[in-house]
Structure 1
Amino acid sequence: MSFQKTFIPAGHPRRVSLIGSTGSIGTQGLDVIEEASGQFSVAALSGGYNLELLARQAIKHRPAMVGSAVESKDELAAAIQEAAEDASVTGYEPELVVGAQAATEVAAFAEADVVLNGITGAIGLAPTIAALEAGHLLALANKESLIIGGQVVKQIAAPGQISPVDSEHSALAQALRSGAPEEVAKLLVTASGGPFFGCSYEQLRDVTPAQALAHPTWDMGRMVTTNSATMVNKALEVIEAHLLFDVPLEKIEPVVHRQSIVHSMVEFIDGSVIAQASPPDMRLPIALGINWPHRVDGAAKACDFSTAASWTFEPLDEEVFSAVKLAKQAASSSGTHMAVYNAANEVAVDAFHDGKIRFTGIVETIERALDAYTPVNAELSVETVLETDRWARAHATKIIEASA
């Protein structure tokens, strides 16, 4: 995909709708907007079930539309009214949307220029498609929607309509501007290594949920943090890089970089390697994502080169952490295999935290679901992807129940 901004007229603040505004990406996105001195405004917000925080965000930023996963519009209205009274605000009456489709309605809201999709999981697919079909620039942090949607999402997206927000893909997008597509030799996607770098497979069998959530660098939600520990997150990022930048899978490699300063690198055919480096702070890729291709002054701190520091790079042990190799095989098999991969992983992560399977059972469940899957003999479409997702969740549940 090309990354030339063509969607937003110059001369006015970019109006941003945030999907998952109460989560990690959403709250940091609002921080970026607030600190950017009038460069952005909030068009709409969509949150989950944390109505207190969502209501405070709404009162502070005054979006025209507010959505929540709760089923009661009255419940959302009451939360906003309470927050308004606490802040001595009167006369604010946004349009309210609730329920399972709220995020999708917010993503399609016509009065936005940019949609920041920061929710986690396959539920991000519908908002992703809605934002693209509405003609908005999509600042994409929800990697799962591209992973499972694959070619369907790419067919809907116009050139330049998706800007990456994952730190790795933001880094790649920046580094790729150093050369022409035909000059790219390899994408090097860096990984922190998670909390279990250097462990053997046998040691991983006894990992507890608390240990899996103790990430050495990033503060993320339960699903993403667990995915980082299993390296499933890096597997999804490899596939996402393949889809975003049209680089063959065999030319994309994970590299363990424990310091999390170099966020990814591009190797060119002349032997040059271009890296993007900055201290770990998601506000930088968020700011660049919603303002692509322009940078936001002061979005984050730069590296301090006045003090000594060491950066190390090591290969990923794919025998212990097989998630990346498994994802490459799945992505090469059909347009729907990655939907199975992602769905089985989400079910298995929940099962691990519920004490139903071992830590190593997460990737084992993914592999068994993939082995059992026969691709749907139908035209690749959103409906086909969602049907595959439902099958994979049901089958992964059966695998877990049988192993209990």
Structure 2
Amino acid sequence: MVHVVESPSPREVVLLGSTGSIGTQAIDVVKRNPDRFRVVALTGGGGRVDLLAAQALELGVEAVGVARASAAQDLQLAFYAEASRRGFRRGEYAIPKILTGPDGATEVAAWPSDVVLNGITGSVGLAPTLAALRAGRTVALANKESLVAGGPLVLDALGGDPSRLVPVDSEHSALAQCLRGGRADEVRKLVLTASGGPFRGRTRDQLGEVTPEQALAHPTWDMGPLVTINSATLVNKGLELIEAHLFFGVPYDDIDVVVHPQSLVHSMVEFTDGSTLAQVSPPDMRLPIALALGWPDRVPHAQAPMDWRRAQSLTFEPLDATVFPAVDLAREAGRRGGTAPAVFNAANEEAVAAFLDHRLPFVRIVDVVAEVVTAHTVVRRPSLDEVLDTERDARARVRALVDQGA
């Protein structure tokens, strides 16, 4: 008798934020692995309807979500135009269900699937994360705000099953991989690596005249303005520290940050016997994206590996917390818990916007955030509305400080 072994069906993926950097790279991963993944629904920014329509048609999705209700007709027209451009005739393609408005992404997040990749930017990504988890989906999380702003809500929505939340950021993906090397009770410390940004090695006085153009020139990664400035201030490491605590349940005192300019070691785990495991790969987000979509399995050839035949150096430096106080501030906000991390994140976003608009000096970004975080009265177990209200209040406080000449 001949036994036929059937290949497993492709894992069905819902992709939130498909027109952004994470989303477009995730689609690249899916297209190169059609036997492993199939996108069934997606959402994108209302300002890029042409790209969203092209993605929906190429992937053959069942549903598309856009935040602006007024974008629905534009999306339909763009879909017809893209089908015509590709030479399709009526009846050769199906029009996906279009979900619009502020709840559109939340509805798509709960669409039947195996995994939901949340690549939305900002706090608007929190509600879709909660919707996906409450619908029983596994969430591949690239939306920092979901954990930083809504940590207690996300942990509650997991229902005691942390395996349904998989990290996409390269640092947390690295930690998840290294943690496979030992039991939880064998972990002594998590070590997040930071490139140091464009101003590594400078003093606070030397940062006094930094311009937005200088701060946007990251030495390693090509990212959006907010994330790039966060890398320059090291706020990004503060956010990642809070995320690491919530992802892996490791105490804040046992999470360190070390500067690693080459950005090849993405993070490390130190064990109680003195051993340290590091995850090393060229800086390319396709690897953590592929791993998150396929978790716990690896996806072959997700990216090119290190070339160990080429001479190269890996260096590590201590973080200068005097010049870059953001990590310590984030650690303190994380210890306070509740709504404090949401205030840290929202106040920083508003302060960065003021810096990019030449209304706030670079060295004052974290100072202003610290003032707002310190003045905040923490709500210990907030609702979603309380988190959003807290963020609005934090942004208003930053605007007031900036107007006062902070």
> 1:152: which partner in 2?
153
Please, which moves more after superposition, 331-340 or 284-293?
331-340
Which of 319, 338, 341 matches 1:338? 341
* Cα distance in 1 for residues equivalent to 2:381 and 2:227: 31
Aligned positions, number:
393
CA displacement at 1:379 relative to structure 2: 4.0
* Cα distance in 1 for residues equivalent to 2:211 and 2:111: 42
1:349 aligns with 2:352: yes
* Cα distance in 2 for residues equivalent to 1:163 and 1:379: 23
Q: Residues 297-317 of structure 1: CA distance to partner in whole angstroms, max 9, x if unpaired? A: 110111111111110011110
| 1:99-114 superposed matches below 5 A | 99-110=101-112, 112-114=113-115
* Cα distance in 1 for residues equivalent to 2:383 and 2:103: 19
Task: Indicate the SS of the match to 1:151.
Answer: helix
1:86 aligns with 2:109: no
Contact preservation (8 Å) 2:50, 2:75: no
Report the aligned-residue RMSD.
1.3
- Any unmatched runs of 5+ in structure 2? 1-6
Please, which moves more after superposition, 86-95 or 184-193?
86-95
Task: Indicate the SS of the match to 1:395.
Answer: helix
| TM-score, normalised with respect to structure 2 | 0.94
Task: Indicate the SS of the match to 2:370.
Answer: helix
CA displacement at 1:387 relative to structure 2: 2.1
Which of 33, 38, 41 matches 1:41? 38
> 2:9: which partner in 1?
12
* Cα distance in 2 for residues equivalent to 1:63 and 1:83: 15
Task: Indicate the SS of the match to 1:135.
Answer: coil
Which of 13, 21, 24 matches 1:24? 21
AA in 2 matched with 1:289: A
Contact preservation (8 Å) 1:70, 1:76: no
> 2:55: which partner in 1?
57
Contact preservation (8 Å) 1:232, 1:323: yes
> 2:140: which partner in 1?
139
* Cα distance in 2 for residues equivalent to 1:348 and 1:105: 32
CA displacement at 1:291 relative to structure 2: 0.6
CA displacement at 1:38 relative to structure 2: 1.7
> 2:4: which partner in 1?
none
AA in 1 matched with 2:324: F
> 1:5: which partner in 2?
none
CA displacement at 1:334 relative to structure 2: 3.1
* Cα distance in 1 for residues equivalent to 2:29 and 2:405: 46
* Cα distance in 2 for residues equivalent to 1:328 and 1:379: 19
* Cα distance in 2 for residues equivalent to 1:99 and 1:349: 27
1:186 aligns with 2:185: no
> 1:395: which partner in 2?
397
- Any unmatched runs of 5+ in structure 1? 1-9
* Cα distance in 1 for residues equivalent to 2:100 and 2:358: 32
Contact preservation (8 Å) 2:130, 2:153: no
Which of 246, 249, 264 matches 1:261? 264
> 1:67: which partner in 2?
65
Contact preservation (8 Å) 1:121, 1:346: no
| TM-score, normalised with respect to structure 1 | 0.95
CA displacement at 1:210 relative to structure 2: 1.3
> 1:367: which partner in 2?
370
Q: Residues 129-180 of structure 1: CA distance to partner in whole angstroms, max 9, x if unpaired? A: 1111111110001112101111221111133100100000000000001111
* Cα distance in 2 for residues equivalent to 1:248 and 1:368: 25
Q: Residues 293-349 of structure 1: CA distance to partner in whole angstroms, max 9, x if unpaired? A: 000011011111111111001111011000000011111123110011001011111
